[in-house]
């Protein structure tokens, strides 16, 4: 009752153009007016002591709680109340009273500092009103959109569930089909295998015959070559002209060795040579053939590109996150080189003797071929069915994953799934793919950097769904892996409005979406802030 009365008095006073300060000590809010009664002793608001009223606002701090100096800077823990008629009233720390800087829009904090402050309350009030209206509009429209999103999400979820059920049924059918086709395939493959083996065996036999004939011809040729005096015998001395046949490979084929090669005889005729040939044919070098090159050409591994030498190898001032795993690469590179080396040498040592002898296998006969064709068809059908099964399984997995995502209390964020939103800055294109990842790509060439993969909702306890956290992005030099915090605000559009890197490798994105728009308060509930 008395409060209402005082309010009335004040309103009248203001409307008559008097200053508010007449009614209460400087810096006192209306709500505390009753504690500051003129000409009565003042009791500190914490009750710690009572002082004469002329010590209120006398620029000396008497109360521990600072309540005796609401209008001066005397108390370190005091606060000053600005009425800010036309805008919002506020408290400022006492230390900002008369510090030469205009803090209250009604200029009341600078009454004795010489600061030239302008009253900007009405202007601020107008602007605030405008922006509040704008915000209210956005919230209203955004909230409507959100309702739609929720509806769509509900429907979408049902669709997905239905689809999932359908897919799971499909999967069952497919699994059966795969098994059936596997049996068909295996049944067709057995005769195919047998026919192939038969064919191969026949060819092997044929090849053996050809090879034996060739060998005999070679032997005859060698005999003729060795039999220098054409007496129909190969003698020890004739054999000695072929040092490559030296059994102890000391470079010379001694008489004894040669005789040994010839089976203990001094000379052999062409029939006996057959036995000798089998033991020398691998070493024998035809006199008409050129010699194998004696030295293996060793190709050294390519020199590694040398880094320019600097003294300061501690990476003193890297400007970019380069070269962090250079060392590992080096290790692996070295090994690869060694492996390559081995391959090169070994292939040189045992050259593949693919002379014209062993021609390609002759084509399958008609019967075998038809068995093969049948098996091939069964295989293809089986693989096809397996592929279909995998696809369905993938679809199921993806759907299950999508359904399992936390898309908000009413699944209002589900529309963001598998979408991406770009923001272009002067240097980079930032891309936010909600529930997936955030990336940064230089505008003018260069590879994409992962700024984090979907982690969790990480808003405050009571409002988790206004902040998204993306983690474990590309590592930083001497630093953490990149991560991104996405702050969601209410908006009609779904769009990335800004990005920044407040701390090295920790990114911040501002993202508007109707999905976070709250139900606008009905006008009747709006508290009236103005003090009168």
Partner 1 sequence: MAVTSDRMRLVYTALVSLLVGVAHAVDRSNFKTCEQSAFCKRQRELIPGQSPYRALLETLELSGTRLTLQLINDNNKVRLLLELYRLQGNMTRVKINELKPLKPRFEVPDVLITDPPTEPMSVVTQDENGVVLSLGGENQRLIVSAKPFRLDIIEGPEVLLSLNSRGLLSFEHLRPRKDTISHRISDTVGSMWDSIKSVFSSKSETEADHAEGKEDDPEQEGEKNGNEEEDKPGMWEETFKSHTDSKPNGPTSVSLDFSFPGVEHVYGIPEHADSLRLRNTDGGDPYRLYNLDVFQYELDNPMSLYGGVPVLLSHSPHRTMGLFWLNAAETWVDISSNTAGQTMFGKMVDYIQGSSDIPQTDVRWISESGIIDVFIMLGPKPKDVFTQYASLTGTQAFPPLSTLGYHQCRWNYKDQEDVQSVDQGFDEHDIPYDFIWLDIEHTDGKRYFTWDPNTFPQPKDMLQGLANKKRKLVAIVDPHIKVDSGYKIYSELRSKGLFVKTKDGSDYEGWCWPGNSGYPDFTNPEMRAWWASQFAYDQYEGSMENLFVWNDMNEPSIFNGPEVSMHKDALHGSVEHRDLHNLYGFYVQMATAQGLIQRSGGVERPFVLTRSFFAGSQRYGAVWTGDNAAEWGHLKASIPMCLSLGLVGISQCGADVGGFFKHPSAELLVRWYQAGAYQPFFRGHAHIDTPRREPWLFGPENTALIREAVQQRYTLLPYWYLLFYKAHRTGIPVMRPLWVEFPEDVDTFAIQDEFLLGRDLLVHPVAEEGAKGVTAYLPGKGEVWYDAHTFQKHEGGQNLYIPVTMSSIPVFQRGGSIICRKNRVRRSSSCMENDPYTLYVALSPQGTAAGELYIDDGHTFNFETQKQFIHRSLTFSDNKLTSSNLVLDAKFSTSAWIEKVVIAGASEPKAVTLKNSDGTESSLEFEFDAAMATLTIRKPGVNAGADWTILLK
Binding site for partner 1 (CB under 8 A): 58, 60, 73-74, 76, 93, 95-96, 99-101, 309-314, 316-317, 327, 331, 334-335, 338-339, 426, 476-479, 500-506
> Nearest distance from residue 110's CB to partner 1, in Å?
11
- Quick one: 67 exposed, middle or buried, by C-beta within 10 A (0-12, 13-18, 19+)? buried
Cα separation, 249 vs 186, in Å, equals: 55
> Nearest distance from residue 118's CB to partner 1, in Å?
13
Output 238 or 471, the one with its CB closest to partner 1.
471
> Nearest distance from residue 88's CB to partner 1, in Å?
16
Are 510 and 131 within 8 A, CB to CB? Answer: no
Which residues, in sequence order, are bridge partners of residue 469? Answer: 456, 485
Q: What is the DSSP string of 113-149?
A: S-------HHHHHHHHHHHHHHHHHHHHHHHHHHHHH
> Nearest distance from residue 49's CB to partner 1, in Å?
10
Output 66 or 514, the one with its CB closest to partner 1.
66
Output 103 or 412, the one with its CB closest to partner 1.
103
> Nearest distance from residue 474's CB to partner 1, in Å?
14
> Nearest distance from residue 276's CB to partner 1, in Å?
41
> Strand runs (DSSP E) across 20-105, as ranges?
42-43, 50-51, 79-82, 90-93
> Nearest distance from residue 428's CB to partner 1, in Å?
12
Are 40 and 51 within 8 A, CB to CB? Answer: no
Output 104 or 268, the one with its CB closest to partner 1.
104
How many angstroms from the chain centroid is the CA of residue 73?
55
Are 505 and 528 within 8 A, CB to CB? Answer: no
Q: Which residue has tokens 């100096």?
A: 69
**Two tokens at 275?**
């036995």
> Nearest distance from residue 99's CB to partner 1, in Å?
4
Output 76 or 263, the one with its CB closest to partner 1.
76
> Nearest distance from residue 300's CB to partner 1, in Å?
17
Cα separation, 20 vs 24, in Å, equals: 7
Output 313 or 359, the one with its CB closest to partner 1.
313
Q: What angle do CA 72, 127, 96 make, to 5 degrees?
A: 15
Which is nearest to 167 in space by CA: 477, 359, 394? 394
> Nearest distance from residue 31's CB to partner 1, in Å?
22
Which is nearest to 259 in space by CA: 274, 244, 271, 247? 247
Which is nearest to 392 in space by CA: 234, 241, 222, 173? 173
> Nearest distance from residue 105's CB to partner 1, in Å?
15
Output 346 or 426, the one with its CB closest to partner 1.
426
The SS3 call for residue 488 is strand
Cα separation, 249 vs 276, in Å, equals: 18
Output 102 or 375, the one with its CB closest to partner 1.
102
**Two tokens at 151?**
């509806």
Question: How many other C-beta atoms are found inside a 10 Å radius of the C-beta of residue 507?
Answer: 21
Output 289 or 426, the one with its CB closest to partner 1.
426
Output 273 or 428, the one with its CB closest to partner 1.
428
Are 454 and 470 within 8 A, CB to CB? Answer: yes
Q: Give 12-20 contacts, CB < 8 A, sequence gap 24+.
A: 14/85, 14/532, 20/83, 20/85
**Two tokens at 113?**
């500092």
Output 91 or 143, the one with its CB closest to partner 1.
91
> Nearest distance from residue 28's CB to partner 1, in Å?
20
Output 110 or 227, the one with its CB closest to partner 1.
110
Cα separation, 415 vs 401, in Å, equals: 15
């Amino acid at each position: 009752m008395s409060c209402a009365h005082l309010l009335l008095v004040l309103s009248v006073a203001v409307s008559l153009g008097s200053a508010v300060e007449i009614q209460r000590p400087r810096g006192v809010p209306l709500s505390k007016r009753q504690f500051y009664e003129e000409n009565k002793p003042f009791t500190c608001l914490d009750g710690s002591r009572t002082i004469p009223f002329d010590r209120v606002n006398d620029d000396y701090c008497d109360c521990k709680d600072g309540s005796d100096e609401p209008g001066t800077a005397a108390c370190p823990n005091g606060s000053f109340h600005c009425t800010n008629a036309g805008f919002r009233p506020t408290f400022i720390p006492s230390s900002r009273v008369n510090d030469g800087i205009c803090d209250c829009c009604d200029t009341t904090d600078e009454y004795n500092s010489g600061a030239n402050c302008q009253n900007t309350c009405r202007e601020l009030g107008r602007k605030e009103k405008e922006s509040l209206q704008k915000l209210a509009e956005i919230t209203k429209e955004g909230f409507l959109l959100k309702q739609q999103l929720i509806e769509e999400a509900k429907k979408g979820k049902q669709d997905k569930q239905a689809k999932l059920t359908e897919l799971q049924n499909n999967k069952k059918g497919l699994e059966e089909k795969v098994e059936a086709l596997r049996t068909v395939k295996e049944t067709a493959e057995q005769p195919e295998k047998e026919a192939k083996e038969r064919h191969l065996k026949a060819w092997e036999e044929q090849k053996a015959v050809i090879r034996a004939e060739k060998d005999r011809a070679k032997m005859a040729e060698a005999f003729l070559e060795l039999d220098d005096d054409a007496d129909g015998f190969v003698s020890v001395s004739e054999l000695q002209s072929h040092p490559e046949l030296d059994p102890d490979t000391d470079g010379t084929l001694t008489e004894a060795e040669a005789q040994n090669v010839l089976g203990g005889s001094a000379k052999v005729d062409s029939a006996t040579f057959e036995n000798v040939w089998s033991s020398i044919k691998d070493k024998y070098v035809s006199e008409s053939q050129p010699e194998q090159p004696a030295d293996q050409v060793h190709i050294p591994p390519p020199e590694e590109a040398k880094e320019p030498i600097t003294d300061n190898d501690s990476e003193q001032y890297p400007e970019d996150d380069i070269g962090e795993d250079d060392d590992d690469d080096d290790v692996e590179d070295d090994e690869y080189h060694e492996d390559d080396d081995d391959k090169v040498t070994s292939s040189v040592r045992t050259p593949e003797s693919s002379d014209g002898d062993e021609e390609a296998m002759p084509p399958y006969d008609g019967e075998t071929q038809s068995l093969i064709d049948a098996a091939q068809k069964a295989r293809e059908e089986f693989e096809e069915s397996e592929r279909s099964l995998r696809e369905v399984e993938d679809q199921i997995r993806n759907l299950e994953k999508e359904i399992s995502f936390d898309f908000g209390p009413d699944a209002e964020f589900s529309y963001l799934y598998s979408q991406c939103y770009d923001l272009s800055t002067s240097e980079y294109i930032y891309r936010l793919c909600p529930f997936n990842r955030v990336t940064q790509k230089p505008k003018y060439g260069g590879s994409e950097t992962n700024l984090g993969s979907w982690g969790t909702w990480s808003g405050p306890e009571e409002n988790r769904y206004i902040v998204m956290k993306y983690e474990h992005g590309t590592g930083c030099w001497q630093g953490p892996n990149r991560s991104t915090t996405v702050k969601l605000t209410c908006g009609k559009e779904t769009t990335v409005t800004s990005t920044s890197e407040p701390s090295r490798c920790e990114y911040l994105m501002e993202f508007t979406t109707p999905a976070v728009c709250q139900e606008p308060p009905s006008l009747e509930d709006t508290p009236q802030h103005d003090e009168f």
